[in-house]
Amino acid sequence: MTTLGRLQQRFQSAILAGDRTPGLFIDEENDRRNGVAIYQQAYRARLAGALRDNYPVVHRSMGDEAFAALADAYIAASPSHFRSIRWFGDTLADFLAGSPAHLPHPALADLARMDWALRGAFDAADAPVLTSAEVGRLRAEQWPTQRFTPLPSLRLVELAWRIEPIWKALDEDPDAQTTAPVFDPHWLLVWRPGLDCLWRSADADEAKALQTLQQGASFAECCAQIADSAASDPAATAIDYLRRWLADGLLAKAQR
């Protein structure tokens, strides 16, 4: 470890812990000239700002004060390893789920999952959307091996609580009055067919069918998975799913 390396470790430790750094800086014993405090404050403010940007609805749901306390705790527990601050906060939902002190209601972790999924879809890779007309032109012999690939932006999010109405209300109006969500395990689909993100709720069977497509399975294999699930009419269910995915603009045109 070089002298420079040790100096940087000591300065970094002081910023992270909010401590003084004896012996490192000129004027450091002068309270009015405590420049380290400027870096300490800026560090927390910058990361808290990134969390507010990445979790706008969680912020609205909690209010400024509670969100600031959550941000302080998260920043202390999960300092950034990212080159770009855009990714900071990737584990906030799990942190919330494991931190009863910051969790006035367990559904808050699901709100965080929804915020993060939307943030991820926002700048995910683009791909042209597959249309119903293009699927209609498939020849019969193509169907057994046909693959349908979801858009790269598709996020499949498992939720325990029916939080979508709260998310929607707070997204539209920061001061919206909301009621506690009901416990209702299901899935959320988030995707971006153009510049704007879309989302809707889904049941576990549909989410699992999409997961198989994300993993590269053919449509026939996807249908087999649907048949293994509880669907009473697997063929009709598979066709319904496909029609809906096409209508949603959720599948990508095949790459040539």
Partner 1 sequence: MSNPISGFGLGLRSSHYHDFLLAPRGVDWLEIISENYLVDGGKPWHFLERIRRDYPMVMHGVSLSIGGTDPLDQTYLRQLKALQQRLEPAWLSDHLCWTGTDSLNLHDLLPLPYTEATLRHVVPRIAAVQDLLGRPLVLENVSSYVAYRADEMSEWEFVRELIHRSGCEWLLDVNNVYVSGINHGFDPRSYIEAIPAAAVRQIHLAGHETHPDYLIDTHDQPICPAVWALYGETLRRLGPTPTMIERDDHIPPLAELIAELDLAREQSQAIFAECRHAA
- If one asks whether residue 2 binds partner 1 (CB under 8 A), the answer comes out as yes
- If one asks whether residue 19 binds partner 1 (CB under 8 A), the answer comes out as no
- If one asks whether residue 36 binds partner 1 (CB under 8 A), the answer comes out as yes
Q: Which of 18, 33, 64, 239: binder of partner 1 (CB under 8 A)?
A: 33
Q: Which of 124, 135, 160, 176: binder of partner 1 (CB under 8 A)?
A: 124
CB of 190 to partner 1, least distance (A): 13
3-state secondary structure of 88: coil
- If one asks whether residue 253 binds partner 1 (CB under 8 A), the answer comes out as no
By CB under 8 A, the residues from 146 to 205 that bind partner 1 are 152-153, 192, 195
Per-residue burial over 180-216, b = 16 or more CB atoms within 10 Å of its CB, e = otherwise: ebeeeebbbbbbbbeeebbbeebeebbbbbbbbbeee
Helix axis angle for 234-248 and 219-228, nearest 10°, is: 130
| CA 108 – CA 78 distance, rounded (Å) | 19
- If one asks whether residue 234 binds partner 1 (CB under 8 A), the answer comes out as no
Structure tokens at 20: 């003084």
Residues that contact partner 1, how many (by CB under 8 A): 47
The torsion of the CA quartet 4, 5, 10, 13, rounded to 10 degrees, works out to 140
- If one asks whether residue 100 binds partner 1 (CB under 8 A), the answer comes out as no
What DSSP string describes 92-110? Answer: HHHHHHT-GGG-SSTHHHH
| Of residues 32 and 256, the one with the C-beta less far from partner 1 | 32
Residue ranges in contact with partner 1 by CB under 8 A: 2-5, 7-9, 11-12, 15-16, 23-28, 32-33, 35-36, 38-39, 42-43, 46-47, 50, 79-86, 88, 121-126, 152-153, 192, 195
